[in-house]
Each structure stands twice: as structure tokens, then as C-alpha cells.
A and B are shown apart, each in its own frame.
Chain A
Amino acid sequence: MYNKGTIIPGLIIFVLFVTFPIWFNGLTTAGDLPKPELPPGGEKQCVNTAEYMRANHMQLLNEWRDNVLRDGNREILEIDGKKYPKGLQTACMSCHSQKEKFCDSCHTYAAVEPYCWDCHLTPKETASKEAIH
């Protein structure tokens, strides 16, 4: 083998790049799985099934946002006799009231930073703002 002095270090760097997630994770520590806390009120009913919501909640929220803000369609949804006004704060967070223990747990795990909170307030933030004014 010729030029061992450059080729072997090159190959080592290549292997380190490819195996990056293995050694960066510390070899065998998988870290904690997120445990989103269910609604504190004990509510079991939602606008759709848990599987659907896990996979599609972001698209549902986007659709609601477009309905309400862009098309002015504020029609109140009625699902299994329960009424849901389309909205993150008005519908979702009336049950899932703790963003920090519910939304954030999976979002942090999956490194997702939804821009909901650029405009929306969590119930906790609303309470603190009301206390100031």
C-alpha cells in the first residue's frame, strides 16, 4: 500500500464520520423516552384517535389555522357530542393544559420547534400575564 501516511488517517476520519451517531450518543446510552403527561383533568376523549393525533396533529392544527385565520371559518366542531372551537388554546389546551409536560416532551425528543408559541400563550403564561396586569 502506497501513501499510508495520508490514506490511513483519511479512512479513520471517514469511519468516524459514518459512525458519528454511535460514538456521539456515548455508545450504549439511549437516553430517556418522552413521557407526555395526559390531561390533568382526566379527559379521555379527543377530536380523533390517539394514533391519528400522534402522527397528524400538526397538520390538523395547520388546517384549523388556515380555516380560522385565512378563511374566517370559525365553525365549531362537534365530535361525539363534545364541542370543540377550532384553536390550539380553545380546544387542545383546554384539556392538555400543561405545554411543558405534554407538548414539549416529544418536541424536545424529536428536536422539533413548532412556531405555535410565537403567537400563542400557554395557560401558564396567560395566568402570569394576567397577574401582572
Chain B
Amino acid sequence: MKYAFSFLAVLALVLIAWLGSMIPGMQYLFGVAIPYLAILIFLGGFIYRVVQWAKSPVPFSIPTTCGQGKSLDFIKQDKLDCPTKTSEVVARMFLEIFAFRSLFRNTKSELHEGPKITYESSRWLWLAALLFHYSFLVIIIRHMRLFLNPVPQWLHFLDFLDAGAMLQVGAPLLYASDLAILAGVLFLFGRRLVNRNVRYISLANDYFPLFLIFAIASTGILMRYFLRTDIDIVNIKELLVGLVTFHPVINFKIGSIFYIHVFLVSALLIYFPFSKLMHMGGVFMSPTRNMANDSRAKRHINPWNDPSIKPHSYAGYEDEFREFMVDAGIPVEKELPPKKDEE
């Protein structure tokens, strides 16, 4: 039911944009006002969330250590999995962000008859996640050709590679990234349905972005290859260049599929800062990844600590309470000084 709810929500968004964009005069709402609002909410919300995170103190040094820590000279340190220097942390973060290294180390545990438990590496999630995120990135960069005038040469080259990877199929040319993002998103969705453990913990807010991104990719593909009525790229680019130069105009009729696509992207942008999609910013902010495991070399000061409370060593404690301790029969490290009046 959780996925049915998310699916219906995306369907409702499609219907709103489809019916709404057919009302005369509403094109400006769906083509100009909502996209502007969406990008403002996206930027504002993203910065707000990151600043909120940055305001939260990290009371303890909590890097996840996944390998041999720095020890004696003849014991080899695992520099990526247990970094002690900033440069090693940067290398670890780089691989995490660009290669999803923690997903690569994913394992699957299964209970067999016996009972016997087995563990094996499970890398399909890593592969699908890479496929999905990188094709999404390529698609976003590729879309810049619709916002930039003149179009820089490197965008031509990216387009050439993306279409060339599919060996010039159809007209307009089929993009490899279009197929890759659909394959990736379908795997990520299928995994939540098929894998019982993951299905149990999946919530509506896990399914919703998957449906939304699937709908965005499919409306884009439909617009490019199939529903081409009134999809004149020159008119569309005129509107989009107008948006980024703050002179938006809609001079021609543009097909509903375009407004649906743009509305869904706007919905994604608005939803982004308030959802799990914030892992885009969060991956940089997670203390379990971005801290060095150097708590024995450098003292991690808890920002909550009251500076007026000074450190109190055991020796100082004993000095303060020695008499009472001796009275109570508690063993002390340093005995009381001999009393003068006994002499």
C-alpha cells in the first residue's frame, strides 16, 4: 500500500499538470511561476538544511573504522578505511561520493537449513546506484543545451558520447543515459518490492522519489521520441533560455507533455530539501565519514561542554576528599599526612 500511495501521488501530479496546462493562460503558471518557485525552494531549503546540520554539535569523535587503525610502525594501517590524516579523510570521502564505496562493501546474509547463516558480497545495489546516479548527472548536464545560448563545445561532446554509445539509433538519437536511468530506477524499485527485508523497512517516502524520477525520465523520453505534437525544440529553448535570463516568454503552443515534465521536475525540486534526497548534501556532512580516527592523538572537545567546568583528575579528587575517604575506610593512593598533635 505504501507504494500505491506514492504512485497515486505522482499520478495526481501528472494529472494536475496535464489538465492545468490545457487551461488558457495557465501555461505561465506551469512554465514560469512554478519552476521559479521550485528552484527558490530548492536552493533555500537545501542551504537551510545544511546550515541546520552544521549547527548541530558533534559531541564525540565517531568515524566508522572499517580497517586496521594506525598503530605500531610494523602494523600496516588501512589508510582509506581508518584514516588519521585530513588527506586520508578526503580520499575516503572522494571514493564514497564518486564511487559509492560503502555500497560496494555491501553483504547479504542468508539463513539456511541447519540452521546455518551465510554471508556473501552483494554488489547489485552498488551497480544500480552507480548507473542511476551517473546517468542522472549526465542527463542534467545534457539539459544545459536547452538553457545555454550559445552552447559550449564540451556539451556537444557530451551529447555526442551519450548518443554515440547507442550507435545512432532512431531520430532524434537515442541516448544511453535514458536507458541507464530507467534500468537503474527500476532496479532500485524492484529491490524494494522483491527483497523482503528491504520491503519491510520501505516507506512511502522511499517509493515516492523513485516513482517521481521514473515519471520524469519517462515523460522526457516520451516527449523526445513519441509524443512530439507541438514539441518544437526552438520554442522550448526560447522559454528555457528566457527563464535563466529572467525574460521568460511563451510565444507558441507547447505540448502538454512538456508542462507535465517541467511540473514533475519542479515537484522534485520542491520535495528535495525536505526528504531523504538530501543525502546529496548529507553525504558531505556525515561525521561517521568525514572525521579522522585520531581521537588518541587529538582530544575531541565536545562543544556542549561548559567551559567553566574544569577537568578534575583523580589525584585532585583524592586531595579534596582524602579525609572523608579515610574516615569511610575507602582505600586511598596517598595516605593522610601524619597528625602533629599525636607526636
Residues of A within 8 A of B (CB): 1-4, 7, 10-11, 14-15, 18-22, 24-25, 27-34, 51, 54-56, 58-59, 61-62, 106, 108-115
Contacts and interface: CB of A to CB of B under 8 A. Distances in A.
B303 interface: yes
B230 A21 contact: no
B237 interface: yes
Interface string B243-268: 01111000000000000000000000
Contacts of B54: 1-4, 7
SS of B interface (majority): helix
A109 to B, nearest CB: 6
B46 interface: yes
B256 to A, nearest CB: 14
Contacts of B152: 24
A117 to B, nearest CB: 13
A62 B171 contact: yes
5 contacts: A18-B39, A21-B144, A30-B149, A31-B149, A56-B228
Contact of A51 (B232, B245, B284): B232
Contact of B232 (A22, A54, A62, A113): A54
A85 B191 CA distance: 52
A20 B146 CA distance: 13
A109 B55 contact: no
Contacts of B5: none
A25 B170 contact: no
A30 B247 contact: yes
B50 A11 contact: yes
B184 to A, nearest CB: 22
A110 B237 contact: yes
B275 to A, nearest CB: 17
A1 B56 CA distance: 7
A110 B245 contact: no
Nearest to B159: A111
Contacts of A1: 51, 54-55
B229 to A, nearest CB: 7
Contact of A111 (B58, B155, B245, B246): B155
Interface of B: 39, 42-43, 46-47, 50-51, 54-58, 144-152, 155-156, 159-160, 168, 170-172, 228-234, 237-238, 241-242, 244-247, 281, 284-285, 303
Nearest to B53: A7
B199 to A, nearest CB: 34
A7 B40 CA distance: 20
A28 B245 contact: yes
A99 to B, nearest CB: 17
B160 A27 contact: no
Contact of B238 (A29, A33, A56): A33
A15 B168 CA distance: 35
Nearest to B246: A28
A21 B239 CA distance: 13
A55 to B, nearest CB: 5
